Amino acid sequence: MPNYANNPDRASWLHVDPHSDFPIQNIPFGVFLTRDDVITIGTRIGDTAIDLGALQQLGYFDGIPLTEDIFLQDTLNDFIADGRQTWRAVRNRIAELFDANNPSLKSNIQHKNTVLFRLDEIEMKLPVQIGDYTDFYASKEHATNVGTMFRGKENALMPNWLHLPVGYHGRSSSIIPSNTPIKRPKGQTLPPASEAPVFGPSKAVDFELEMAFITTDANELGDTISIESAESYIFGLLLFNDWSARDIQRWEYVPLGPFLGKNFASSVSPWIVTLDALEPFRVASPKQSPEPLPYLQFKGSKSFDIHLEVAIQPENFKETIVTRSNFKYMYWNIAQQLAHHTVNGCPVNAGDMMGSGTISGPTADSYGSMLELAWKGERPVQLDNGTERNYIEDHDTVILRGYCKNKTVRIGFGEVRTKLLPA
């Protein structure tokens, strides 16, 4: 089925600001609570949220094979499990309904009052019930920076790093939607020059600038997903702030890897932007040398040109943008990540989430964490209110944003915003 929804010439009868992340070519999916306290699956055009459950009940999805309550749910999991043909048919229908030249819904005031909401009338929820969460470590710049800090320049990358997308299994219970504040975590740390650990609040709470992809049902136990087919099992992408307590992490991580320093919270943006919508923004991945093993070799453009930024907003002051990066810098792309994840027969289900790992660019102003931006405290980051930061302080709000842009269309992710409260 063609991807009509991406037609760059289409305008909507709903107002869309020229700088909006959500033109009619985006049509992301999310879950929200309406002014009437009803939870529903929805989409967004400009600053208008659209109740897809109500649209379906009014017959606007007739002709598309959907179960009756597919949008009247508190997660997108079942819709995601329906697969790519359904996602595409629904995006195409929404594009048609809100096309400036289509009067059917536009001229029906009663229907419009039922399905349309201002953003201040809704509350965004977590869009999927995340079954399993995996985090990769797929940015060469990030792995090199962290390796250089802890092992020196000569041994920055571990011997396996250029041969496989390194990852670990995270924890889904602490993945939270935007605007959910978190508490500074407590734990064990080893103070500098000490031989015994102490217990207390982390002194090194950090963000990680990441993106994450959400999968549909991909394979049965024992089966693998080829790199050629991997993308057809990816529903879409989110902004992902993988909160990290560096001092807890440093003491605990040997030999099994990240644990309590990572699993106290990770924040996601509320709207899942489909891989279909990102189609116009494909770019070549970084050249891989040495050549990866055959199951990780791919053809075509499998990276995406997504501009990313992080801002820190101190209490009662405006934000300062502390870094600008891009998703295209990732050394291991999402198709490689999913092919690698399933090469041993590990099953992947609808609603699983895979984080990219911190996305650092090549320059010191494009690093994806405070650990790197402030270089473990050696060059503090200056904020516009005259203060400086090595890590995130109590009452700071961290905001991640991302968007793609070409000559005709801008497709964005909005933002994920999280405030850090005291321990």
Q: Which residues are catalytic?
A: 142
Spatial distance between the Cα atoms of 149 and 170, rounded to a whole number of angstroms? 24
For residue 304, the minimal CB distance to Mn ion (Å) is 19
In the numeric block, the tokens 């419009």 are attached to: 112
Which lies closer to Mn ion via its Cβ, residue 42 or residue 355? 355
147 burial level (CB within 10 Å; 0-12, 13-18, 19+): middle
Return the structure tokens found at 31: 């879950």
DSSP lists the bridge partners of residue 326 as 307
Distance in Å, CB of 210 to Mn ion, minimum: 6
Q: Is 78 exposed, middle or buried (0-12, 13-18, 19+ CB in 10 A)?
A: middle
Q: In this chain, which stretch among 82-90, 181-189, 236-244, 399-407 interacts with Mn ion, using CB under 5 A?
A: 236-244
Nearer to Mn ion, 242 or 319 (CB): 242
* Closer CB to Mn ion, 32 or 240, in the complex: 240
Report whether 308 contacts 327 (CB < 8 A).
yes
The smaller minimum CB distance to Mn ion, of residues 31 and 237, is found at 237
Over the window 63 to 82, marking each residue x when it contacts Mn ion by CB under 5 A and - when it does not, the resulting string is: --------------------
CB of residue 95 to Mn ion, shortest distance in Å: 34
Nearer to Mn ion, 20 or 139 (CB): 139
Distance CA 8, CA 23 (A): 10
Q: Which residues contact 155 (CB under 8 A, 6 or more apart)?
A: 147
**Rule CB under 5 A: which of 199-218 touch Mn ion?**
208
Q: Which residues contact 193 (CB under 8 A, 6 or more apart)?
A: none
Segment interacting with Mn ion (CB under 5 A) among 9-17, 113-121, 235-243, 415-423: 235-243
Residues 6 or more apart whose CB falls under 8 angstroms from that of 128 comprise 75, 76, 77, 80, 214, 272, 351, 353
Q: Beta strands 175-177 and 266-268: pairing type?
A: parallel
To Mn ion, the closest distance from the beta carbon of 334 in angstroms equals 15
In total, the chain counts a number of residues equal to: 423
With beta carbons less than 8 A apart as the criterion, state whether 24 and 16 touch.
yes
Nearer to Mn ion, 21 or 135 (CB): 135
CB of 130 to Mn ion, least distance (A): 15
If binding is defined by CB under 5 A, does position 99 make contact with Mn ion? no
Cβ 166 to Mn ion, closest distance in Å? 11
Where do we find the tokens 């990540």?
Answer: 337
Q: Nearer Cβ to Mn ion, position 356 or 390?
A: 356
Interface segment toward Mn ion; rule CB under 5 A; list 89-97, 174-182, 237-245, 310-318 = 237-245
Task: Give me the sign of the Cα torsion angle 373, 361, 6, 239.
Answer: negative
Of 208 and 396, the one with the shorter C-beta distance to Mn ion is 208
* Under 8 Å between Cβ of 142 and 161: no
Closest C-alpha among 39, 65, 44 to residue 54: 39
What minimum distance in Å lies between the beta carbon of 356 and Mn ion?
8
Which residue stretch of 27-35, 129-137, 313-321, 333-341 sits at the interface with Mn ion (rule: CB under 5 A)?
A: 129-137
- Retrieve residue 301's tokens: 């453009």
Cβ 378 to Mn ion shortest distance, Å: 22
Total residues contacting Mn ion by CB under 5 A comes to 3
Could you tell me the two tokens for 369? 């964490």
Name the token pair of 100: 């400036």
Distance, CA of 217 to CA of 244 (rounded, Å) = 29
Does 372 participate in binding Mn ion (rule CB under 5 A)?
Answer: no
Question: Minimal CB distance to Mn ion: which residue?
Answer: 242
Which residues are CB-neighbours of 342 under 8 A, at least 6 positions away?
218, 219, 223, 224, 225, 348
**135 binds Mn ion, rule: CB under 5 A:** yes
Instruction: Using the rule CB under 5 A, give the single segment among 213-221, 240-248, 308-316, 393-401 that binds Mn ion.
Output: 240-248
Q: Does position 242 bind Mn ion by CB under 5 A?
A: yes
DSSP letter for 153, please: G
Q: Are 395 and 173 in contact (CB under 8 A)?
A: no
Considering only 43-51, 53-61, 239-247, 374-382, which stretch makes contact with Mn ion by CB under 5 A? 239-247
Q: Which of residues 20-59 bind Mn ion (CB under 5 A)?
A: none
Site residues for Mn ion per CB under 5 A:
135, 208, 242
